[in-house]
Amino acid sequence: MKRDMRLYVQDILESIEAIEEYMQTLTEEEFYENRQVQDAVLRRFEIIGEAAKKMDEDFRGKYADIPWKKIAGMRDVLIHEYFGVNLKRVWLIIKRDLPELELNFLRIWEEIKD
CA–CA gap between residue 95 and residue 12 (Å, rounded) = 17
CA–CA gap between residue 92 and residue 88 (Å, rounded) = 6
* Candidate list 60, 75, 89, 107, residue with the active-site label: 75
Please check whether residue 47 is in contact with residue 39, taking contact to mean a CB–CB distance below 8 angstroms: no
Q: Is 35 a catalytic residue?
A: no
Distances (CA, A) of 28 to 11, 73, 78, 90, 106: 26, 24, 19, 11, 26
Collapse the DSSP code of 3 into the 3-class scheme (helix H, G, I; strand E, B; otherwise coil) and give the result: coil
Q: How many CB atoms lie within 10 A of CB 91?
A: 17
Residues catalogued as catalytic: 75
